A and B are shown apart, each in its own frame.
Chain A
Amino acid sequence: MVRKLSTILATAVVASAAFAVPAKAQDSVYVPLFTYRTGPFSGSGIPIANGMRDYLTMLNERDGGIGGAKLILEECETGYDTKKGVECYEAVKGKKPVMVNPWSTGITLPLIPRAAVDKIPILSMAYGLSASADGDTFPWIFNPPNTYWDGLSMIIKYIGEQEGGLDKLKGKKIGYIYLDAGFGREPLPLFDQLSRDLGFELKLYPVPADSMQNQSSQWLSVRRDRPDYMVMYGWGALNPTAVKEAAKINFPMEKFISIWWPGDDDLRSAGAGGKGFKTLNWHAVGTDFPALQDIQKLVVDKGLSQAQKNSVGEVLYNRGVYNSMLIAEGIRNAQKITGKTAVTGEDVRRGLETLDLNEARLKELGLEGFAGPIKLTCADHNGHRPAFMQQWDGQKWVKISEPIEPMADRVKPLLEAAAKDYAEKSTGWPKRTEPCDKQS
């Protein structure tokens, strides 16, 4: 507690100093971070918020910011609540943010039409509207490195591999347990299509937010329906409860597969029954990377982080680090393209569109081997990168598969159709007028 109070005090002193002596506009860029350290979803929100903030703080401490521009960081607490998230957006947009990270699909959706009007790029990293990967329709929205639809296609592909081929899925039963909100409902159109194309039966088990910790009905239905596999898109308290309930009905844990959101705390809460549970992931866990070690040395050890030292390197912490790496590279690219130090939202949109994180660049960042390369273009704001399967061994996550490519042939046409449909249904949706930079 003393540590927390001293952190709060230190933050207050730094903040007051920042207000007392305003930094020159050309010396800084404003990066708001929408986080949720409070409320029912804080279990998932805290490690991500810590990872995001710590990486950017490390850049300030180590390099004095990015390309000579100090990063002005400000968290806005959304509580994973869409209304609060939109309020956060309204509160920060006047301060000329270079981008907004909503950290909720529910918050992302109402921000999509506003982004082009306010000239603020939205980075919804591996969440949000899958169709927003189409840069021609959504020039201001970015959702790298993969969409929820990619994620689902990878899970189905993995299940197919376990069964000896996608054709073997015919006649199988796959259950889908999900948070009954924008996030959980997002992959439903693709799931439905895949079940028709591949011939498996899809059983749905929606979990309303107020039943996250009371899922016995859903799991009784699972016991009745006897699906061959269970797929989960859960968040917050939904994840550990689902794992506990699955263990309770003796559902084979190695056939329970999640999208990339369950964290270490979720599985620790679930207890011994969680051993064998699988999730997708696309980046490393642990701290065996120079950038992570810099975070420990320059941020955590100096008391500038809110993270417990032993939580650095956990899967959701590193997810936050990955998110901030994208933020930083978007800003750096924007500086390179425009020659400006204090870039704007319009510049960073161009920076994100020309993002090219290859192996060499990842090495320069001190993140060699942390994640695979990714390149965005004007048309593709996602990258549709592969992910691998990891399994909980009772103590930690263990990588158990090679990278799984998304089923581009099945996902892409649906995604393009969904983007077209969105534009048609949104009256007056603007045609893209933003020029495409040469680097793309």
Chain B
Amino acid sequence: MDILYNIFIDPFVQMGSAPDLFVQTLWEGLVSGVLYALIALGFVLIFKASGVFNFAQGIMVVFAALTLVGLYEAGVPAILALVLTIGVMFVLAVGVERIVLRPLVNQPDIILFMATFGLTYFLIGFGELVFGGNPKVMITDELYLPRGSVEFEMLGGFVSLQKIDITAAVIASIMVASLAVFFQKTRIGRALRAVADSHKAALSVGISLNQIWIIVWFTAGIVALATGIMWGARSEVSFALQIIALKALPVLILGGFTSVPGAIVGGLIIGVGEKLGEFYWGPLVGSGIESWLAYVIALGFLLFRPQGLFGEKIIERI
């Protein structure tokens, strides 16, 4: 009976007895969720356009953040370093299209997937050669990102919101809204969706596959840069950031690989779910459940919607 009480009653008693902590946990979950969603968005963009699961998205986050900080450390003013980093991500997108994707057109998806493994190892090695493996401090102040926290006394306690987290939430929301408009309302967005449906059909109506791929990889690069800045500000800019990208997998499973709203909703569900799970139910099993709880949540959803929350239902006649 004690076990049942600890699982089904006690966590809710705790939520009621310390509502400020519940609100704080919810907030931390939402912030993590938004950041997971940003990483997942990078995956979704490329998957939508080419059907490729881009294994290199995690290292692109590291590479973008390292480039930004590396340029600043080399004496480039912060804002110019940001602009140059965007330029570097564009060059990377062009390079990926020319060197990796173009020679592999019409190859099975698994070949393209493996090519992104190669790209990952290239970016790791290149990043380490140019910037070294030492962790770096994100140039938060220089980019005019706010520091410190805002504290509210509420519900018999206090809730503390970090300004950088609020900024991350705002920036992520703006990026998501812009991308949604871009995909739904612009000519390029429609072309991109056409490419996602069928490469051959898109080519036959005059859509340039190569151009679309560059746009998509460049956009994923920008998303990676935003993610790298936000995560880097929360911790440090190091190759450890690429591990965070693994958190995008349950988000994608949950939200669907082809849905921008799915990445957002999936990110928020995973973020909030794992924080509440770890905080209220973790101690029952010795804590440290966060890393696998995300997959359990995703699998739970899959039982009812195998295509993910917003994924396209694939019907194949056999």
Contact = CB atoms under 8 A, between A and B. Distances in A.
B10 interface: no
Contact of A210 (B129, B137, B244): B244
Give the size category of B's interface with A: 35 or more
Interface in B235-275: 235-236, 238-244, 246-247, 274-275
B133 A37 contact: yes
Interface stretch (B76-84, B173-181, B217-225, B281-289): B281-289
A43 B243 contact: no
Contact of A217 (B149, B240, B279): B279
Interface in B111-164: 124, 128-130, 132-137, 149, 160, 162
9 contacts: A38-B128, A38-B239, A42-B239, A43-B133, A204-B286, A204-B287, A213-B244, A224-B21, A237-B236
Residue in B124, B242, B244 with the greatest tally of chain A CB atoms within 10 Å:
B244
A315 B34 CA distance: 37
Given A180-B288, A217-B275, A269 B32 contact: no
A212 B243 CA distance: 9
B228 to A, nearest CB: 12
Interface residues of A, number: 42
Given A216-B31, A269-B135, 14 more contacts: A43-B134, A43-B240, A212-B243, A213-B234, A213-B235, A216-B32, A216-B275, A218-B287, A220-B24, A220-B25, A237-B238, A240-B236, A241-B235, A241-B236
B158 to A, nearest CB: 10
B135 A240 contact: yes
Contact of B287 (A38, A205, A216, A266): A205
A327 interface: no
Contact of B243 (A40, A46, A221, A268): A40
A213 B28 CA distance: 13
A84 to B, nearest CB: 14
Interface string A18-51: 0000000000000000000111111101100000
B18 interface: yes
Residue in B24, B25, B240, B290 with the greatest tally of chain A CB atoms within 10 Å:
B240
Nearest to B278: A217
Nearest to A306: B132
A371 interface: no
A208 interface: yes
Nearest to B25: A220
Contact of B133 (A42, A211, A266, A271): A42
Residue in B133, B134, B236, B287 with the greatest tally of chain A CB atoms within 10 Å:
B236
Interface in A166-200: 180
